[in-house]
A and B are shown apart, each in its own frame.
Chain A
């Protein structure tokens, strides 16, 4: 327990101390939140209705997909994992503790956004707070899992960026943050259901914001949670202590298993 507390405490401080992580955890999401809050209502007044969930989803995407994988790859390449292995630090701690501390940073950012958006921009608050919290946790858990998995399977930092952007960019465009799901063409809508951001926006709208969901919102929460569990299990299975990551324990395509809950949801819809 003492080891966990020490590890957690160090990783949490790193999230503020490390400039890149500070940017992804706080500055980038809060900066964009303020910018969007001042600009978007002028362009699209409907944006305000989903401003809080959209900005929370954006914060989650930035902190996890853009913040989590790179330090994992860098740590592996610098031989830090080897040092950890020698000192008995388990792979599960190496992968889950940074994810948990990122989620804690996201709780802080979410509280800031949720508390200030009504005051600054007259954005509507969630009506169902437990569901708001549940959807936040499910989305943060899913994205943290996927990000950790990207860090585990990526051979280098450059590859990390590619994988992260492969999810981040479509999430921004099709995830319901800027454009509502209902306005997307049919095919794009179906593809977007493979993205955690779409599932999270659907769940926020249907379960927390008193809006009509585009598809089953409870299913969205379940898909996010299952995807997160699968991502962490596969990441721990594929984790490699070696600094060169040249002897993988399994095929990196196993990572695609994280899409399974979304595919099943799509087929059941």
Chain B
């Protein structure tokens, strides 16, 4: 069992009468990529900002690498790296200057190699407002990781990035994770959360409605698994066929498509049918409900199972 790097216990945050976060608890282990998901107003930003030391909790306790963010902000600053949603840099600063400037405050040597790696080499002397939004986000990320933080908070890191930049950023995240960095990822991009996160928590109206690996979360929903099968003889293309746990079926591009509530018996029966019919299997695809499907299910039902 790895150590918990982030510990959240009964955390509560209010703004006047509005309860933004209502007594949530979770742990993030060292080297884990932890996705924090939720619709707007769910309490993600309040949670992140409190962990980053930008806000004080109204109840419960927070620990980041053993540090209380509200009480020990000086200790916290060298332990965490944060890529905010808004880049948070002066308009006239250049990537070179920003790197020197932030590294000087962290008392580390400037990491110009990160600028090169994140595709900012040709724009090192351009002013911040001259950079595209994608380059601005890449710069913010380079600055967030330049002092080798133990914990990295990423808020919508790939918003506005093209495909190549997104892949590069994911590679960098994996590399940081391999080196032991714990990453907290807040995103609206479900595909990214599913691909990158070891575990995710879904927040809704200030409470956690589910926590688990993406696989665990997607497997617990009421969503149907899609099974697409193509055979040489087309023995499955018959609307009269009935397989166990299949609630709907259709045909598209020579594929027989079945929607199953229990994938095991369905696939076994399909394979058996192909053998009995002395047909030949060409392609079989199983698409379980995505995290996005599960997220929509959770957020529209209010978390009720």
* Residue from the list B73, B74, B90, B143 in contact with A75, Cβ < 8 A: B90
Q: Give the most central of B87, B97, B101, B106: most A CB within 10 Å.
A: B101
Q: Which residue of B lies closest to A15 (CB)?
A: B92
Q: Does A211 contact B (CB under 8 A)?
A: no
Q: Is the CB of A80 within 8 A of B88?
A: yes
Chain B interface: which of A2-10, A28-36, A40-48, A154-162?
A: A2-10
Q: Does A167 contact B (CB under 8 A)?
A: no
Check A79/B86 contact, CB under 8 A, given A86-B52, A87-B77: yes
Check A86/B100 contact, CB under 8 A, given A14-B92, A78-B88: no
Size category of the A interface is 20 to 34
Q: Is the CB of B84 within 8 A of A79?
A: yes
> Which residues 66-118 in B have Cβ within 8 Å of A in the complex?
73-74, 77-78, 80, 82, 84, 86-93, 97, 100-102, 104-107
Q: Does B54 contact A (CB under 8 A)?
A: yes
Q: Which residue of B lies closest to A4 (CB)?
A: B104
Determine the distance from Cα of A18 to Cα of B92 in the docked complex, in whole angstroms.
7
Determine the distance from Cα of A99 to Cα of B147 in the docked complex, in whole angstroms.
28
Q: Give the most central of B52, B102, B105, B143: most A CB within 10 Å.
A: B105
Q: Does B53 contact A (CB under 8 A)?
A: yes
* Residue from the list A5, A82, A88 in contact with B88, Cβ < 8 A: A82
- Shortest B14–chain A CB gap in Å is 13
Q: Is the CB of A89 within 8 A of B105?
A: yes
Q: Which residue of B lies closest to A88 (CB)?
A: B77
Q: Give the most central of A83, A84, A86: most B CB within 10 Å.
A: A86
Q: Is the CB of B102 within 8 A of A87?
A: yes
Q: Is the CB of B53 within 8 A of A86?
A: yes
B127 contacts across to A, CB distance below 8 A = 17
Q: Does A190 contact B (CB under 8 A)?
A: no
B86 contacts across to A, CB distance below 8 A = 78-79
A85 contacts across to B, CB distance below 8 A = 53-54, 73
Determine the distance from Cα of A168 to Cα of B101 in the docked complex, in whole angstroms.
33
Q: Is the CB of A6 within 8 A of B100?
A: yes
A5 contacts across to B, CB distance below 8 A = 104
Q: Give the most central of A2, A13, A78, A83: most B CB within 10 Å.
A: A83
Determine the distance from Cα of A13 to Cα of B91 in the docked complex, in whole angstroms.
12
Interface residue tally for chain B (C-beta within 8 Å): 28
Q: Is the CB of A86 within 8 A of B92?
A: no
Check A86/B77 contact, CB under 8 A, given A3-B105, A7-B101, A7-B104: yes
A141 contacts across to B, CB distance below 8 A = none
Q: Is the CB of B104 within 8 A of A6?
A: yes
Q: Is the CB of A86 within 8 A of B104?
A: no
B73 contacts across to A, CB distance below 8 A = 85, 88
Check A17/B92 contact, CB under 8 A, given A86-B54, A88-B105: yes
Q: Is the CB of A80 within 8 A of B105?
A: no
> Which residues 102-158 in B have Cβ within 8 Å of A in the complex?
102, 104-107, 127, 143
- Shortest B111–chain A CB gap in Å is 14
Q: Is the CB of B74 within 8 A of A88?
A: yes
B105 contacts across to A, CB distance below 8 A = 3, 7, 87-89
Q: Is the CB of B106 within 8 A of A87?
A: yes
- Shortest B110–chain A CB gap in Å is 9
Q: Is the CB of B53 within 8 A of A3?
A: no
Q: Does A241 contact B (CB under 8 A)?
A: yes
Determine the distance from Cα of A268 to Cα of B89 in the docked complex, in whole angstroms.
47
* Residue from the list B74, B89, B107 in contact with A80, Cβ < 8 A: B89
Determine the distance from Cα of A7 to Cα of B106 in the docked complex, in whole angstroms.
13
Determine the distance from Cα of A89 to Cα of B101 in the docked complex, in whole angstroms.
10
A17 contacts across to B, CB distance below 8 A = 92, 127
A241 contacts across to B, CB distance below 8 A = 54
A75 contacts across to B, CB distance below 8 A = 90
A80 contacts across to B, CB distance below 8 A = 88-90
Determine the distance from Cα of A251 to Cα of B80 in the docked complex, in whole angstroms.
33
Q: Is the CB of A14 within 8 A of B90?
A: yes
Q: Is the CB of A6 within 8 A of B101?
A: yes
Q: Is the CB of B106 within 8 A of A88?
A: yes
Determine the distance from Cα of A18 to Cα of B127 in the docked complex, in whole angstroms.
10
Determine the distance from Cα of A6 to Cα of B73 in the docked complex, in whole angstroms.
22
Q: Which residue of A lies closest to B52 (CB)?
A: A86
- Shortest B237–chain A CB gap in Å is 57
* Residue from the list A3, A14, A83 in contact with B104, Cβ < 8 A: A3
Determine the distance from Cα of A201 to Cα of B102 in the docked complex, in whole angstroms.
41
Determine the distance from Cα of A256 to Cα of B273 in the docked complex, in whole angstroms.
87
Check A79/B104 contact, CB under 8 A, given A86-B77, A241-B54: no
Q: Give the most central of B92, B106, B107: most A CB within 10 Å.
A: B92
Q: Give the most central of B53, B86, B89, B104: most A CB within 10 Å.
A: B104
Determine the distance from Cα of A2 to Cα of B73 in the docked complex, in whole angstroms.
21
- Apart from A85-B73, A88-B78, what 10 extra A-B contacts exist at CB < 8 Å? A3-B104, A3-B105, A7-B105, A75-B90, A80-B89, A83-B88, A84-B88, A86-B80, A88-B74, A89-B105
Q: List 29 A-B contacts (CB under 8 A).
A: A3-B101, A3-B104, A3-B105, A3-B107, A5-B104, A6-B100, A7-B101, A10-B93, A14-B90, A14-B93, A17-B92, A17-B127, A18-B92, A75-B90, A78-B86, A78-B88, A79-B88, A80-B88, A80-B90, A83-B82, A83-B87, A83-B88, A83-B89, A85-B54, A86-B54, A87-B105, A87-B143, A88-B74, A241-B54
